[in-house]
Amino acid sequence: MLVALLPGDGIGPEIIAATMRVLEAAGVSGLTFEQAPVGGAAYKAKGHPLPPETLDLAKRADAILFGAVGDPNCDALDRHLRPEQAILGLRKELELFANLRPAKLFPELADASALRPEVATAIDLVIVRETNGDVYFGEKGHRKTADGLREGYDVMSYNEAEVARIARVGFETARARRGKLCSVDKANVLETSQLWRDVVIEVSADYPDIELSHMYVDNAAMQLVRNPGQFDVIVTGNLFGDILSDQASMCAGSIGMLPSATLNSANKGLFEPIHGSAPDIAGQDKANPLATVLSAAMMLRYSLGKPDDADRIEAAVAKALANGARSADLGGAMGTVAMGDAVIAAL
């Protein structure tokens, strides 16, 4: 099976390198890797954040292991040339519409959360975020008002097919867990949300075993602080999911620990840590590679049919933490390479 390796910018190459060493030490069989540039690195090398060769590799591959994109030197570029467009382009071109972000605190890291330990350790949820629609991909631009004022606009929308397919991922995810699905919207203000809510309710007819609830996004942002333990699976749109999943990650401790998967309908996926490219510490052997290692484990489980290898790697991460492995974000002093070594030793 072919894995596309897209290290990207900033700390991307380091954390991918550490992850590759872990995969090798774990002796995962039958994988071949092919690498390509993406993000700011690709813009510098080829003039585009998602060059045709990179997109082509991503399409041919069975799964994509992604580092991070983002480069402050690219901030002044036209929007379509900025590093972030690579991740938006991959999601759209490959129809990767279901972004899964588990948020769970490793008990060893209870001290790393800003929440009280008893609140933080209760977190065990998955956010299922739609990533092919919403205000991200609608018509957008600048125009003049009737009075000649500059105006920026973006059209938010969802159609019933888009909502139904992500709702099904939400229900299925809940079925494999504790059976509770909370759909988050802003139906008291937005027509897009009203359609979202209507369709989620229609789809729920096929999942009588799942306990469905609805919550407004402002309330959800509050509840994720007040009592995150109440959630099992949250399903929501692209924009609300962007905000809530970052918030939930932080509730669950260091952002250096959390993986994500973005899947298409055939379970082909892009796997990446939820953190960014951290240009301030790039190339200094300071970044925590564990979110990327855990993303690789998700890849083995979701896209490559190797759940046993995934389990082994996840267990090794837990053991390394129990043995005291701590990078700077976790209050320790170990570097990227040493953190990778700690996982390898635990394997």
Ligand X SMILES: CC(C)[C@H](C(=O)O)[C@@H](O)C(=O)O
Residues making up the binding site: 91, 101, 129, 218, 242, 246, 276-288
Quote the least distance from Cβ 274 to ligand X, whole Å. 7
- CA dist., res. 273 & res. 290, Å (int): 8
Q: Can residue 280 be called a binding residue for a second copy (CB under 8 A)?
A: no
Per-position b or e across 136-163, b if 16+ CB within 10 A of its CB: bbeeeeeeeeeeeeeeeeeebebeeebb
Q: Can residue 328 be called a binding residue for a second copy (CB under 8 A)?
A: no
What is the residue whose two structure tokens read 């389990």? 311
- CA dist., res. 151 & res. 255, Å (int): 35
Q: Can residue 160 be called a binding residue for ligand X (CB under 6 A)?
A: no
Q: Which is nearer to ligand X, 87 or 182 (CB)?
A: 87
- CA dist., res. 3 & res. 256, Å (int): 23
> Which among 62, 186, 268, 329 is annotated as catalytic?
186
Helix (H) / strand (E) element for 1: namely: none
What is the residue whose two structure tokens read 């897009």? 192
Is residue 198 part of the annotated active site? The answer reads no
Is residue 268 part of the annotated active site? The answer reads no
Q: Can residue 26 be called a binding residue for a second copy (CB under 8 A)?
A: no
User: Among ligand X, a second copy, none, what binds residue 87 when CB lies within 5 to 8 Å by partner kind?
Assistant: ligand X
Contact positions with a second copy (CB under 8 A) in 97-116 = 114-116
- CA dist., res. 293 & res. 23, Å (int): 8
Is residue 136 part of the annotated active site? The answer reads yes
Is the CB of residue 39 less than 8 Å from the CB of residue 280? Answer: no
Is residue 311 part of the annotated active site? The answer reads no
Q: Which is nearer to ligand X, 39 or 335 (CB)?
A: 39
What is the residue whose two structure tokens read 């669950």? 252
Among 1, 45, 189, 201, binds ligand X (CB under 6 A): 189
Quote the least distance from Cβ 289 to ligand X, whole Å. 18
Binding site for ligand X (CB under 6 A): 84, 87-88, 188-189, 218, 242
